[in-house]
Amino acid sequence: MTSRADATSWTAEVRARTSLSEHLLRLELGGPGLAGFASTGIPDEWVPLVVPGQFQSRYYTVRSWDGERLVLDVVVHDEGLVTGWATGDPVGDVVGIGPAKGSFDPPPDAAWLMLVGDLTALPAIARILETRTDLPTRVWVETPPGHEHLLPATSAEVTWTSPPGPAESGLAAVVEGIDWPDGEGYFWMSGESSQMRAIRKHLMRERRLPSAAYDVMGYWRKPGGRRRPVDPGPIYAAGRAAGESDAEIWARYDAAQEAGDEGSGQ
Ligand SMILES: Cc1cc2nc3c(=O)[nH]c(=O)nc-3n(C[C@H](O)[C@H](O)[C@H](O)COP(=O)(O)OP(=O)(O)OC[C@H]3O[C@@H](n4cnc5c(N)ncnc54)[C@H](O)[C@@H]3O)c2cc1C
């Protein structure tokens, strides 16, 4: 993803790095460069992160922001721009942070919540569970074992599944097998992009859900194949300005990535 840090960006110093598991690192960012940074208050909000020596950004969920300390949880995978940096010696480094955006937006009359995601979605799921305690909630999380302690204690019913392999996800099959609750609710899901595309089709064609009833976002793409990173920021802003729903915006984001795959020739 390729946006350049600009006038609406901040700098932050990495104050601490903690290992949450073999696969997840917590970064605590702070310092005077974050003055004026504002949370949207939307619990799945994310920021673009630019690490030292780079101009490309990657997107990370704001796990928490208390007005001084910004916490991001970073999945460690085989190789990557942020992964390589975060597993090195990042404490003391200064990073770039862009404006926060969020898309979790249940209809006011939603009677229940369903949350589904892989390890990259765990920070957002944890924050949604902390903030939305008013609705009966079911959660499906696909992670390697050892992440149960990262979800808050709530009345939500949580099902843990394991990914089929490293850098793989089988979440589409999990969702297709879900016993759907009665009544109108809100379905939120994020994780590997091809799984999300499959689920969007499932929700539209099999379940015939209105677009306001779900939010499904591709957070990462599995290694291999031709790919062209697409910055979701401008697509999101243009979609919002045009009055599009989140589902329509994320579908256009997928289409832009697919067009890149076909045309990139990489
Ligand atoms: C709105 C949004 C919120 C997000 N929130 C988070 C978050 O809170 N925490 C988080 O860790 N990620 C989050 N992500 C996903 C993260 O932005 C991507 O995983 C990103 O590609 C990681 O960057 P990188 O520099 O480590 O790897 P890249 O340089 O982007 O990719 C290098 C290689 O790794 C592969 N790869 C990328 N991500 C993964 C992965 N997760 N597992 C296996 N292989 C991978 C790629 O296919 C590529 O081959 C979010 C994404 C979005 C769009």
Q: At what angle do helices 193-201 and 246-264 cross, to 10 degrees?
A: 130
Are residues 170 and 53 located together in one domain of the fold?
no
Give the position of tokens 């499906």: 140
> Is 241 found in the same domain as 117?
yes
What sections of the chain are H helices per DSSP?
A: 81-86, 122-131, 171-176, 193-201, 232-241, 246-264
Q: To test ligand 1's pocket by mutation, which of 72, 77, 128, 169 has the most ligand atoms within 8 angstroms of CB?
A: 77
If asked whether residues 69 and 197 sit together in one domain, one would say no
For residue 258, the model assigns a pLDDT of 65
Do 93 and 134 fall into the same domain? no
Q: Are residues 46 and 141 in the same domain?
A: no
Question: Are residues 119 and 68 part of one domain?
Answer: no
> From the alpha carbon of 72, which atom of ligand 1 is closest?
8
pTM of the model: 0.88
- Per the domain annotation, does 107 fall within a domain? no
Domain boundary among 70, 97, 124: 97
> Which ligand 1 atom minimizes the distance to the CA of 101?
1
Q: How far away, in angstroms, is 220 Cα from ligand 1 center?
A: 5
Residue nearest (by alpha carbon) to ligand 1 atom 31 = 80
- In a domain, residue 108? The reply is no
Q: For position 229, what pLDDT does the model report?
A: 61
| Claim to verify: residue 90 and residue 139 sit in the same structural domain | no
Phi, psi angles (nearest 5°) of residue 243: 80, 20
Cα 191 to averaged position of ligand 1 atoms, centre (Å)? 9
- Number of domains comprising the chain: 2
Token representation of residue 191:
């994780």
Q: What is the CATH number of the domain that holds 128?
A: 3.40.50.80
175 C-alpha to ligand 1 centroid (Å): 22
Residue nearest to ligand 1 atom 30, measured at CA? 80
Q: Residues lining ligand 1, CB < 6 A?
A: 46, 58-61, 73-75, 77, 79-83, 120, 123, 167, 217, 219-223, 232
Whole-number Å distance, alpha carbon 181 to ligand 1 midpoint, is 31
pLDDT for 232 equals: 75
As a whole number of angstroms, the distance between CA 110 and CA 187 comes to 10
Q: Which residue has the tokens 């404490």?
A: 91
Whether 106 is covered by a domain: the verdict is no
Q: Which domain holds residue 32?
A: 10-97
Residue 2 located in a structural domain = no
Residue 83: DSSP 8-state: H
Q: Where are the beta strands (DSSP E) in the chain?
A: 10-21, 24-30, 46-50, 58-61, 64-65, 70-75, 94-97, 113-118, 137-142, 157-161, 186-192, 214-220
For residue 143 the two structure tokens come to: 């992670």
Assign residue 76 the CATH number of its domain. Answer: 2.40.30.10
- Say if residue 122 is in the same domain as residue 66: no
Dihedral of the alpha carbons of 78, 171, 98, 30, in degrees to the nearest 10? -70
Q: What stretches in the chain show pLDDT beneath 50?
A: 1-7, 261-266
Is residue 183 one of the residues assigned to a domain?
yes
Q: What pLDDT score was predicted for residue 252?
A: 78
Residue 102 lies in a domain: no
Q: Which atom of ligand 1 is nearest to the CA of 229?
A: 30
**Looking at residue 263, what is its pLDDT?**
33
Q: What is the pLDDT of residue 5?
A: 36
